[in-house]
Amino acid sequence: MLKKLYLCTFILFLAACNSTHKPSVVAMSAEMTSSDPEYGYSASKPIELGGFLIGSKYHGSHVEYFESLMGPNGEQVTVQRIGSCCPFEDSSMPFGGGLLDKYQLSYEGIPEPVVIHVNLYKFNKPMAPKGFTLL
């Protein structure tokens, strides 16, 4: 009798887990795309990926970010670092500021590559810039 009770409970548990609503990948990626047309494209609104400093909590997060970045229909994105630019001041940082990095993004079908600005010193939950998605 006890075995039947456990079996029924287990089956109900599985059925309940299977019926849980899961958002589609498209809906999830839309939630992770910024609605701000300047996000990432402007030096005043860089994507804050943090992790530049070895040993920091977010070390390597920029690599994961770029690996997850896709075109609007799931296209694979090619990422090329252009270089550093745009000095900024920030009293919360050990050196009082830093430089942003510029990256060129392209994918098959995009009319021309775009350039984004990235802050590798500060971290905020990153989103995809308009025209891209995160998976």
Q: How many domains does the chain have?
A: 1
For the segment 12-20, the average pLDDT, to the nearest whole number, is: 47
Which residues span the domain enclosing 45?
39-134
Considering the domain boundaries, does residue 75 fall inside one? yes
> Residue 111 CA to chain centroid, in angstroms?
23
Q: Is residue 33 in a domain?
A: no
Evaluate whether residue 89 is within a structural domain.
yes
Residue 9 lies in a domain: no
Q: What is the pLDDT of residues 77-134, one digit of tens each?
A: 999 999 999 999 988 877 888 999 999 999 999 999 999 999 988 888 899 999 999 9
pTM reported for the whole predicted model: 0.73
The reply to whether 104 falls in a domain is yes
Q: Extract the tokens encoding 32.
A: 């992770």
Q: Does residue 28 belong to any structural domain of this protein?
A: no
Beta-carbon contacts of residue 50 (< 8 Å; ≥ 6 apart): 56, 57, 58, 61, 62, 119, 120, 121, 122, 123
Identify the three-state secondary structure at position 82.
strand
Distances (CA, A) of 75 to 5, 31, 106, 110, 123: 49, 18, 9, 10, 26
